[in-house]
Structure 1
Amino acid sequence: MALRETKPSAGKPAPSVKTAEKPVNTVPVQFVFGRDNYIWLVISIAIVAFGFVLMSGTTDIYSTTKIVIAPIVVLAGFGLGFYAILKKPATKP
């Protein structure tokens, strides 16, 4: 069964459907985190990535950089990430 398209008659315009327009209450979108939180989060991700790069380091397994410094840098990055998540966004006066 084929469907046929019907053309509106030339004499009468097609009836327009009027919808009841209700006033729209616009509420600004509130994000969970503020801009500062996202900046701190990106910085913490970069610090963690840098710590892992330090861990890959040279072929020396017992390097001070691999054993001591890199884990401290990674943990500092994770700590900064927790700070970024828990920091309350600044409220605008």
Structure 2
Amino acid sequence: MQAKKEVLPLGKINFIMIAVCVLLIMLGFFLMTGSANTGATWNEDVFNTTRTVVGPMVALAGFTLLIFAIIFKKKD
């Protein structure tokens, strides 16, 4: 008797794309981080463009591409 070969629902390219998307999401969250604001001092970097615009856009792009990476099917 031959054993059945187990087929994964996602291919190798899907897993690579998912890994890239996760790294992109992590980069977006890293761009949104910054120094903490204390009560004694006010830091204007709280409203920095990188933290308020670029970081969320990168994270959103990662989440959007993650959906594409999951549903992508290689043409045979």
For 1:51-70, what aligned pairs fall within 5 Å after superposition?
A: 51-58=28-35, 60-70=45-55
- Structure 2, unpaired ranges of 5+: 36-42
Question: How many residue pairs were aligned?
Answer: 68
- Structure 1, unpaired ranges of 5+: 1-23
For 1:1-12, what aligned pairs fall within 5 Å after superposition?
A: none
Sequence identity (%): 32
Say which one has the larger Rg.
1
Root mean square deviation of aligned Cα: 1.5
**Which has the larger share of helix?**
2
Within the alignment, does 1:31 sit opposite 2:8 as a pair? yes
Relative to the length of structure 2, the TM-score reads 0.80
Q: Which has the higher contact order (CA 8 A, sep 6+)?
A: 2
Relative to the length of structure 1, the TM-score reads 0.67
**Runs of 4+ more than 6 Å apart:** none
